[in-house]
Structure formats: C-alpha cells, structure tokens
Structure 1
Amino acid sequence: MPPTPSPSPGAPGRPPPERRTDDPSAVPSSAVGREFAFEKRHFDFIVGLIHQLAGIALAPHKLEMVYARLARRLRELRIKDFDAYCALLESERGAEEVGFLVNALTTNLTAFFRESHHFDHLAEEVLPELRARHADVPRPRLRLWSAGCSSGQEPYTLAMVLASSIPDLRRWDARILATDIDTHMVETARRGLYPAEAATGIPPALRERFTRRVRENGDTRTAMDDQLKRLITVKPLNLLEPWPMKGPFDAIFCRNVLIYFDRPGRTQVIEKFSRLLSHGGFLYLGHSESLYGVSSSFRQVGPTIYRRV
C-alpha cells in the first residue's frame, strides 16, 4: 500500500496510564467476564488509530465489536493485555501489526448480485448505451471499478454481467479493477473460490455458465471461471491514500463503504471518484448511502445510482 499519511493534529498517542482498579468508572459493566481488560482508553486509542490509517470512524457503540475482534488477535500473538497490544502498535514492529488491525476492524459483508437493481441498471441501461456509442470503434475501451470489493463477489458479479450482456466482448478492451483495504480479502478475491452456498445468489443460468464445483480440504466450493478472472485485476488500496490509477472509468461501484468514513473523508473520496469517471459515468452507492449535501458533481438517476454531470 502507499505510505500512511502523517498523523493529523489530535492523532492518537499511547493510552493514558491505567486507572486505579477501585475506580468504579474504570471498566464498563459489559466487561464482566472478559478474558482481557478493555477500557475506554484502549478503545479511544484504537479508534483514533484506525481513523488515522483508514479514515474509518467507529462510533462508541462499536466497543464490543472492537474488543471481540481484537481479543482473537491477542490470543494469536499471546499478548497478555491491551496495554501491551497498544504498545506493540506504537513500536517499531507496529507497522506490520497495523495491517492486521485494519483487516480485523473492516467489515466484509458481501454477496453475489447483492442489491441486484444496480446490476440490472448496468445491464439494461449503461452497457447498451456504451455499445451503441462504440459500435464503429475497432476495439472500444470499457473500465469498471469495484472500490471496496471485499472478498470479490461484487467484481465477479460485474464480470458475469459484462460477459452475458456483450456478445462480442472479446472485441472490447474491457477490464474490471477491484480494490480493498483488507489484504486478506484481496487474496480471497484473487483466488475466486467461495463456500458452495455463496453461489445461491447467482441466477441459475449464470451459475451454470460461469462457475464450477470443486473440492478443497474435503469441502465443496464454488470456483469462478477463468474467463471471469481474466477480466479482473485485484489490488489492495486505501481510499484515503493516493490512488495510482488514472481512469477514466465508465462506472464505479462503491457500496456500503462510505458509511464508515467521516464527512471530510466521504467528500474527499467522492470528489476523486468524480475526477476519475468519464463524462456521464455512473456511481453506485450502498442502500444507506447518499450524496445529498456531499457533492454537486452528480445527479441521481435511480435508487442509489448517480451520474456524473
């Protein structure tokens, strides 16, 4: 990944010294029975660090989620408590550990053809328009970007839509970029191998055409076809750090990602999307996301579907 930005004013430092154990406010009531003591000072330090590194804003109600995910990491590292873990994050060895921290705290909920109206719009509106526009071009260019691709179901869905909607796709210079901040998810997307039940969201005709069943370690898995893999390039990327790609993109899917950013972070990312989209290019957001009050560079053309103006 590109270098981490320099800490902004107010960036987190080492958690303050441990408070007296007889202080009744030191540990929340929900902490009873925890394996590791996890106080607000630990949570505040980690929240500040993840915001600095990835622009992710974690609300106070996420405390239990943060504890649960990082407690597993403490066990793996055989670290005795969160004081020691926070010290590790600040040490010279911490540069490697912050990658595990980001991976642990980013949410990776995804599915094939999730929010299917977006893929219907791509197949029925966007791709026919592009085909008509480039009818006389010998090798027309087509670029899609799955920004925040998680484990890869979204870019593979895009690839299925392209391959089934453009009969002469081999004539096209078509590519799908898939990026995610979580390096474990990036590797999963590259492999294109999923639990068998994950394929139930794929329409039967496309499932038959573009996937196959394989056995791995005694389990039945769903493997993506090589023709889909050839369309996709998967890379790690932090959306709040410099972007190496130049565009332009015909459509960008960034769904259920912006909800984790604060307002300045959302504004920054949306404006960069605008600059990388072609004139009239499309931006697809998640079901709970909106550009209202964030950007004037787009007009809404459908449910969470925006077109660059």
Structure 2
Amino acid sequence: MRFLPATGCRAAPARPAARRHARRLRRAGALALLLVLAARAPARAEPHEPAADDAVAVLCGIVEDSAKGAGLPVPYFTRLIWRESAFQPHAVSPAGALGVAQFMPGTASERGLADPFDPAAAIPASAKLLADLARRFGNLGLAAAAYNAGPTRTQKWLDGQGDMPFETQSYVLAITGHDVEEWRAATPPDSAAPGPVEPCVVAIGKLRLARGPSGEPAVSGLFAPWGVQLAASFSKGSALRAFARARHDYAAVIGDRQPFVLGSVLRSRGWRPFYRVRLPAQTGGEAKRLCDRIQAVGGACAVLRS
C-alpha cells in the first residue's frame, strides 16, 4: 500500500518523488499495524470503533492517490471500491472474487496482481484496470459495467448480442448516478461537470449511513428481482456454508448457478445484519419452477421477491 531523525540541522526539501515514496511507506506501515490489530480485536467489536475508522482512513489515502494516478475521479473510484467490498481487504464473494477490489483470480493473474488481498497492490491495480476500460469503452459508466460484468459481456451487450445483468445495471447507477443505458448512448452531460471534490473519508461516511450499521454492501453477487432462498443466518459465513451444503446435496438441480447474498437489518430480529443466500431469477414463475425442482429432490427453499 501505499503504503528523519532529528539532527539539529535543517534538512533540504525532499524531492516530490521521494516525498511520495516516503508517504507510501508510512501508509504501508500504518495499514499493516491496523490489520494486525483488527485480527486481534474481539469478534463482536462494533463496526464504527476508532480502529476501524483509522483503517478506512489509510485505505482512503491509497484510493485517492490511485484514482489521481490513473486519472479517475476520486468520488467515482471511492464508490466503486466501497460497492465491491465495503473497504474489507479480506472480502471473498460467493463467486470467488477476492480482496478489497474483488479481483477474480484469472483477472488478477492477467493484470500481474500477485496478491488480491494486499490493498497496497490491489487498489492501484483496480484503478489502472478501470482507466484501461474507460479508454476501451469510451466513458466511466461503461468502464464500471465492464469491471462488474466483464469486458466480453459488456461488448456483446453494446453489439446487441445479449442483456446487461440486472446487478450490473444497479451497480453502474449506484456508482455513477446514471443508468447504464445513458452511458451507452453518450457520456451524460453532467458527469463531466466541475464540482467540489469530495474526500474519500467523507464519501465513506455517507455510504455507511446509506448501507446501515453493518458497513457491508447490502447485496453481493448476481442480484435479481426474484430469488430462491436456500440459507439464512446472522453470520454471513454460516449462511454461505449452508448454501454450499445445499449445492452439494442438490447439485443435479442447482448446478453451477451463482447465488447472491442480501444483508440487512430486520427490526423484528434486532440490530444485527441478517444474511439471506438466494439463487437469482428474473421472474416469480422462474423462481417457483426452480424451487419446485429443489423440493422434488428433498430440498427446502422459499420463493421471495428481492
């Protein structure tokens, strides 16, 4: 990540490159210490205690420097990284995306990223990838779509050969404030309008309020308007393990379908986030047919609107 002894003599001003290098080293050391402290912290620690806020501040420094280095707007890149992982360096998605920037292993290898769980490497790599996607597709909205759905699927959608996933449509809207169809037609006029540059830590504060006390994205995975729920728990890990058992037991029906996870606070269940793992479906009828097949082989499921 980007992360002089006192002598009684006035030091000569450091060169800009040297100052940047020193700043990166300080941030790297600070993040390493914070991650160690986080690993030792009690499992039931509150999500907004000072140590967590300090870690976010360190990550924000890397996000801001990486965005500027790649020519990306800081608020745009902040929202994208938050949407990917809620600034959690060790996040793992149900689909297998890794780290704070949620690189799939194949993409990480292609981009020369040795350790997706290292924010010092993953965040700059993410910024460079987005800049490359923006040059390829012409604007930041389509770059975000390609980051989420993949360049191949995005290009096929632009060529009229497929649909843009509902999850990606929501993703682009949340990050840019514009629908992906607007980005397809042209760069929205106000997307390039000058405005106040919102610091990363300020943006994160607003995003936390929007997402609730868990600090995690409300939805991860291939979100769809309907779902077949197979597992639920106050522990996201427990819910995903229960889903994995269901996938193993009913593999003939579930196959390689990827789930999405809804995490939210249900007032009837207290203030802890409650996680529900569902298989995506575009219609209620599609969800019911899938659930009926799972029940026919002895499984339990529920059809629910997302």
TM-score normalized by the length of structure 2: 0.24
- Which structure's residues are more often helix, by fraction? 2
